[in-house]
């Protein structure tokens, strides 16, 4: 996609009343050559997830941050606007849609508003998960959020964050263990996000090994690949950070062969997904048989296993096997092989590899097949596209119901301005590349 095309790109319009979200998703997969028996989009769900950014502020300054140079200068969008975006997500994609409550870091939002937002997402019949760097995600806060319907907490921890006292990914496993202890026993699924970059690719086996050891508590380990987008100082990878190498590193750490090319989540160049059972440290690959997986996807498309307790998922499949002999015939040999491979009580552990695109190299077909959206005031748009033109959305004055004038993102007040110019960046709001320049200038001034 060229600069003009990116600049002209708009969010998806609201779907027509009679349109079926799952059918619309299937049409997008077919139009981009991604529809096949192992495609989850348009079969299991109408969209992978939708990010609901409730603040642009963050208490970290990661070297691969996707936020923009102006994000820190922007006020949190009003609660009414956040809730109307939740309504729009429910209307567009239907009940059960996964909503990432994120930012910046959502825990910087006023606590009562964060709780109100999660409650509203849950009451809208959607599936709320909290994406946070965990610094302010205390057990007390997680308990309150779980009480109002939070389902997952996804902790983002890795060496792009330059956390003091943690020299590498192995050292960060201690922090990961601390965060697990904070969330354990609250009825939340625990997920971890790790950005993979040139500097920690060699350490990914340490992360995977940790996740396998913690499989009783951890449901998903997700790896986001280095991308030149946003304000981060690191820029794009020198080439080694790609889905194949990351999958290899995960298998090295897990000590097992794991299939990353069976079910698809959207475009094959965007996402890789794996599902395993871990029993006494032994990792059993569940996606190693494509025909069996195609049969499971065909016969259980509407079942959200990953959200069910293991016993209910087993019961649901068991009933389906009993009532569909053809399915049972396809499954039984595979099922017996998996059972025989277990060494005790199994725990489900999923791995996900998400290959974000550089802002300057957006592939139109991948954007059209995108399964990860950001909800804007004007509708959902692909996350890669949103990151490439984030200021167009965050610096946009908003018309708020019952309010005269427009909500101004820089003042947080009503004003007559329908456009705001790029705010001056101050030492207080400087992050990423701009902060580095500021610091350099300041030290240069001191020296001169
Ligand atoms: S956000 Fe980007 S990498 Fe992810 S699915 Fe969408 S287009 Fe693909």
Given a cut of 90, whether residue 257 has pLDDT beyond it is yes
Q: What percent of the chain has pLDDT over 70?
A: 97
Ligand 1 binding pocket includes 370 (Cβ within 6 Å): yes
Task: Give the pLDDT band (50/70/90) at residue 446.
Answer: low
pLDDT in tens, 235-254: 999 999 999 999 999 999 99
Both tokens assigned to 172: 């960060």
Ligand 1 centroid vs 67 CA: distance in angstroms?
16
Determine which residue's CA is closest to atom 3 belonging to ligand 1.
Answer: 356
**Residue 228 CA, ligand 1 centroid: distance in Å:** 14
Ligand 1 geometric centre to CA of 390 (Å): 15
CATH architecture of residue range(s) 3-307+341-388+432-438: Alpha-Beta Barrel (3.20)
Residue 372 near ligand 1, beta carbon < 6 Å: yes
384 lines ligand 1 (CB under 6 A): yes
270 touches ligand 1 (CB under 6 Å): yes
Mutating to test ligand 1, I would choose from 356, 373, 390 the residue with most ligand atoms within 8 A of its C-beta, which is: 356
Region of poorest pLDDT, from 95-99, 155-159, 416-420 = 416-420
b/e map 30-52, b = 16+ CB within 10 Å: eebebbeebbbbbbbbbbbbbbb
**Token match 């990353």: residue?**
260
pLDDT of residue 179: 98
pLDDT at 416: 84
Q: Give me the mean pLDDT over the 374-400 stretch.
A: 96
303 contact partners, CB below 8 Å, separation of at least 6: 313, 316, 317, 320
Q: Whose CA is nearest to atom 6 of ligand 1?
A: 370
Confidence band for 441, pLDDT divided at 50, 70 and 90: low
Ligand 1 in reach of 266 Cβ (< 6 A): yes
Mean pLDDT of the 389-405 span = 90
Name the CA radius of gyration of the chain, rounded: 22
Quote the CA–CA distance of 266 and 127 in Å, as a whole number: 19
> 170: CA distance to ligand 1 center in Å?
28
- Provide the pLDDT for residue 322: 85
pLDDT 10s digits, 12-59:
999 998 999 999 999 999 999 999 999 999 999 999 999 999 999 999
Lowest mean pLDDT among 256-260, 389-393, 420-424: 420-424
pTM of this structure = 0.95
Contacts of 350 (CB under 8 A, 6+ apart): 219, 220, 221, 273, 274, 275, 276, 306
Q: Scanning the structure block, which residue is given the tokens 């569909």? A: 324
Residue 448 has pLDDT above 60, yes or no: no
- Mean pLDDT estimate for the chain: 93
Give the Cβ contact number of residue 448 at 10 Å: 5
Query: Looking at residue 424, what is its pLDDT?
Result: 75
For residue 295, pLDDT beyond 90: yes
Q: What is the DSSP string of 157-204?
A: -SGGG--TT--SHHHHHHHHHHHHHHHTTTT-EEEEEEEE-TTTGGGH
166-210 pLDDT per residue, tens: 999 999 999 999 999 999 999 999 999 999 999 999 999 999 999
Give the least confident one: 31-35, 278-282, 436-440: 436-440
pLDDT of residue 443: 66
Confidence band of 439 (pLDDT split at 50, 70, 90):
low
Measured in angstroms, how far is the CA atom of residue 328 from the centroid of ligand 1?
A: 35
279 Cα to the center of ligand 1, angstroms = 33
Which pLDDT tens digit goes with each residue over 66-119? Answer: 999 999 999 999 999 999 999 999 999 999 999 999 999 999 999 999 999 999
Residues facing 145 on adjacent strands: none
pLDDT at 444: 54
Looking at beta carbons, which pairs linking 31-34 to residues 24 or more positions away fall under 8 Å? 31/368, 32/267, 32/365, 32/366, 32/368, 32/369, 33/365, 34/264, 34/266, 34/267, 34/268, 34/369
Rounded average pLDDT over 340-345: 92
Tell whether the model's pLDDT for residue 347 goes beyond 70. Answer: yes
Q: Which run of H or of E encompasses 138? A: none
- Ligand 1 centroid–CA 367 distance in Å is 6
Query: Is the shortest distance between the CB of 371 and ligand 1 below 6 Å?
Result: yes
Residue 156 has pLDDT above 70, yes or no: yes
Q: What is the mean pLDDT of residues 132-148?
A: 98
pLDDT at residue 447 in the model: 55
């Amino acid at each position: 996609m060229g600069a003009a095309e990116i600049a002209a790109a708009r969010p998806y319009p609201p779907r027509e009343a009679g349109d079926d979200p799952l059918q619309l998703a299937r049409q997008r997969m077919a139009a981009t050559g991604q529809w096949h028996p192992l495609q989850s989009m348009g079969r299991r769900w109408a969209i992978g997830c939708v990010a609901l950014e409730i603040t642009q502020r963050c208490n970290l300054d990661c070297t691969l941050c996707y936020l923009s140079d102006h994000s820190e200068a922007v006020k949190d969008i009003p609660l009414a606007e956040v809730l109307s975006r939740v309504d729009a997500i429910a209307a567009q994609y239907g009940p059960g849609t996964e909503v990432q409550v994120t930012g910046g870091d959502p825990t910087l939002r006023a606590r009562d508003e964060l709780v109100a937002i999660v409650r509203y997402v849950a009451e809208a019949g959607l599936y709320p998960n909290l994406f946070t760097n965990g610094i302010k995600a205390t057990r007390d806060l997680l308990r309150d959020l779980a009480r109002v319907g939070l389902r997952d907490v996804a902790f983002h921890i890795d060496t792009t964050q330059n956390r003091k006292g943690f020299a590498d990914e192995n050292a960060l496993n201690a922090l990961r263990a601390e965060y697990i202890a904070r969330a354990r026993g609250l009825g939340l699924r625990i997920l971890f996000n790790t950005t993979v970059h040139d500097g920690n690719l060699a350490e990914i086996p340490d992360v995977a090994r940790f996740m396998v050891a913690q499989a009783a508590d951890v449901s998903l380990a997700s790896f986001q690949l280095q991308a030149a987008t946003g304000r981060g100082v690191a820029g794009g990878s020198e080439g080694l950070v790609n889905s194949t190498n990351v999958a290899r590193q995960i298998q090295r750490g897990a000590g097992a062969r794991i299939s990353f090319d069976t079910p698809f989540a959207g475009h094959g160049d965007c996402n890789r997904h794996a599902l395993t059972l871990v029993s006494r440290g032994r990792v059993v690959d569940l996606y190693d048989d494509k025909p069996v997986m195609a049969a499971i996807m065909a016969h259980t498309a509407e079942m959200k296993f990953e959200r069910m307790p293991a016993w209910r998922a087993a019961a649901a499949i068991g009933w389906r096997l009993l009532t569909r002999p053809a399915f049972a015939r396809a499954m039984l040999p595979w099922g017996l092989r998996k059972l025989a491979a277990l060494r005790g009580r199994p725990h489900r552990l999923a791995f996900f590899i998400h290959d974000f695109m550089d802002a300057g190299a957006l592939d139109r077909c991948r954007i059209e097949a995108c399964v990860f959206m950001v909800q804007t005031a004007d509708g959902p748009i692909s996350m890669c596209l949103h990151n490439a033109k984030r200021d167009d959305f965050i610096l946009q004055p908003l018309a708020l119901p019952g309010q005269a004038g427009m909500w101004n993102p820089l003042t947080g007040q009503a004003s007559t301005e329908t456009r705001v110019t790029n705010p001056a960046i101050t030492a207080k709001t400087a992050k990423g590349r701009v902060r580095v320049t500021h610091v350099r200038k300041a030290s240069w001034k001191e020296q001169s």
